[in-house]
Structure formats: C-alpha cells, structure tokens
C-alpha cells in the first residue's frame, strides 16, 4: 500500500492538533497554575528591589453592567459610525455615490436615534423604570432594570414597540439586567 501526500499531511495535522490539545490541558490544570503562581511569588530578598510594584490582590470581581454602561456602548458605537460617515461626506475626493450613501446612512442613524429616544421615553413612562432601547428597522432590543420584568410588563413593552416602531413582535427582545 502506497502512502500518499494527503494522508501524510492529514496525519501530521492530526498529530499537531493532539499536541496542542495536550499542551492546553496541561497548562490549564488547577495544580499546575497554583505551582506556577507559587514559583513566581516565592523569591529571595536578594532578587527583589525595594520599591518595586507588586500585585497584591488577585480578586477581579467584575461589577454588573448598568443601563448607563449599555447606553455608553451604544452611543460610542454610533458616534464612531457617524464620524466615519462624516469623513466620507467631507472628503473632497469621495465619489458622489459614496457621499450620497453616507448622507443616507447618516439620516438613517438620526432616525434610529429619534426612534430609540421616543421608545425609551414611552417605555419609561409605561413601566415607571428606565430602560435602554437598541434598534434598527428590523430588530429591537430593550434592556430593563432588574426586578421590573413581568409577563404583563413584557407584553406592554412589545405592544408599544409594535405600534411605535412598526417592528414585528417576533423581532423584539426584552432583556432584564442581572444583579
């Protein structure tokens, strides 16, 4: 039986994949990580310099995201898109088609901002709690505070979005913040 190039390449790749899995497994074992961290932290005074910075606490508890965090992310992404589109409009070397498309996209972003703000105000008035709305022409996602979401509130929010934004109920997602 003759071994062909494809079989050799396949065997080599399978062997390399197996080695990568083993190395990953070996270095992610809890015992290995504690041994590695102990080796890094134990040292003699002769090896250390006075005044060197030292990482003391290894706790990195991630605080839960708030509605303000989601607003900030939404607004920063939108600002970045507007900045890019404005640079196309202001660039004298841009083609007329590119300028027209960029202007149209800027108008769509402005409309989305207005629709989201209107929806946020209506939902806030309806449920007596703040929220964040992220939407476009086809999909709408609403983030509400913890402890607010019930089946009745969910239906009221969906009804508002369907009437106001003309988005079908199946494309509406309502999310409650954790913690």
Instruction: Answer yes or no: are the C-beta atoms of 142 and 158 closer than 8 Å.
Output: no
Distances (CA, A) of 131 to 76, 77, 84, 120: 18, 18, 28, 6
142 pLDDT tier (thresholds 50, 70, 90): very high
79 pLDDT more than 80: yes
Whether the predicted pLDDT of 138 surpasses 50 = yes
Q: Assess whether pLDDT exceeds 50 at residue 32.
A: no
67-176 adopts what CATH topology?
A: Helix Hairpins (1.10.287)
Domain limits, the chain: 5-38, 67-176
CA dihedral for 110, 111, 115, 116, sign (positive or negative): negative
Nearest alpha carbon to residue 85 among 63, 69, 100 = 100
List the strands of the sheet with 131-135, edge to edge: 131-135, 140-144, 172-176
Return the pLDDT at 133.
Answer: 92
Name the average pLDDT for the chain: 80
- Residue 179 has what pLDDT? 65
- The residue whose two tokens read 């964040």 is 132
* Least confident among 10-19, 57-66, 115-124, 154-163: 57-66
């Amino acid at each position: 039986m003759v071994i062909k190039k494809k079989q050799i390449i396949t065997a080599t790749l399978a062997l390399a994949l197996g080695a990568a899995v083993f190395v990953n497994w070996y270095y992610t074992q809890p015992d290995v990580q504690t041994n590695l961290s102990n080796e890094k932290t134990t040292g003699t005074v002769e090896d250390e310099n006075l005044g060197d910075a030292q990482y003391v606490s290894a706790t990195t508890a991630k605080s839960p995201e708030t509605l303000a965090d989601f607003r900030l992310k939404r607004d920063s992404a939108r600002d970045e898109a507007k900045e890019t589109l404005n640079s196309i409009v202001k660039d004298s070397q841009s083609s007329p088609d590119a300028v027209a498309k960029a202007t149209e996209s800027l108008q769509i972003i402005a409309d989305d901002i207005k629709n989201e703000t209107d929806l946020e105000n209506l939902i806030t008035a309806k449920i007596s709690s703040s929220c964040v709305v992220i939407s476009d022409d086809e999909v709408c996602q609403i983030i509400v505070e913890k402890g607010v979401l019930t089946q009745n509130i969910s239906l009221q929010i969906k009804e508002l979005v369907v009437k106001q934004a003309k988005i079908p109920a199946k494309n509406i997602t309502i999310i409650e913040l954790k913690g």
